[in-house]
Amino acid sequence: MNVQVNYFGKIAESLNMSNEIIPISDNLMPLNLRNFFEDRYPHLKESSYKIAVNQEFTEEIKSNVQISEIALLPPFAGG
């Protein structure tokens, strides 16, 4: 399936985009998302971030889940 992935803050800056469509094959399930994104973008290994699927924080996609969007969200400190 094709999944919309949204990037925030410094993650978006380091990738030079705020979103993209990524094809995720059903036969990858269950999928460890952190490994998936760090294989795709190795520099993410150096960053702190949370992953959300359908607006809920998680690390993994289980099989048979319909995914409308994924988000990668780094912590912010500024005030």
Partner 1 sequence: MLTKEEQEIYNRHLQLDEVGLEGQLKLKSSKVLVIGAGGLGCPVLQYLSAAGVGEIGVVDFDTVDKSNLHRQILYSYNSQGKKKVEESKRRLEENNPFNSIQTYSERITTENAMDLIGAYDIVVDCSDNYDTRYLVNDCCVTLDKPMVYAAIYKFEGQVSVFNYKGGPTYRCLHPESPNSDSQENCSDTGVLGILPGIIGSFQANEVLKLILEIGEPLSGVLFQYSALTNRLDKFKFTRKEHEIYDQIRRGELNPDNYGVSCGLDEIQEITDDEFREACAGGVQLIDVRNLDELPRLDHLNALRIPLLELESRVEEIDKTKSTVVFCQSGKRSKIAIQTLMKTDRFERLINLKNGVGSLEFAN
Q: Tell me which residues touch partner 1 (CB under 8 A).
A: 6, 8-10, 18, 46-48, 50, 52, 55-57, 71, 73-79
The single-letter code of the amino acid at 16 is N
Q: Which is nearer to partner 1, 8 or 36 (CB)?
A: 8
DSSP 47: S
CB 18 within 8 A of CB 6: yes
Nearest in space to 49 (alpha carbons), one of 3, 6, 4: 6
**Nearest distance, CB of residue 27 and partner 1, angstroms:** 28
**Nearest distance, CB of residue 57 and partner 1, angstroms:** 5
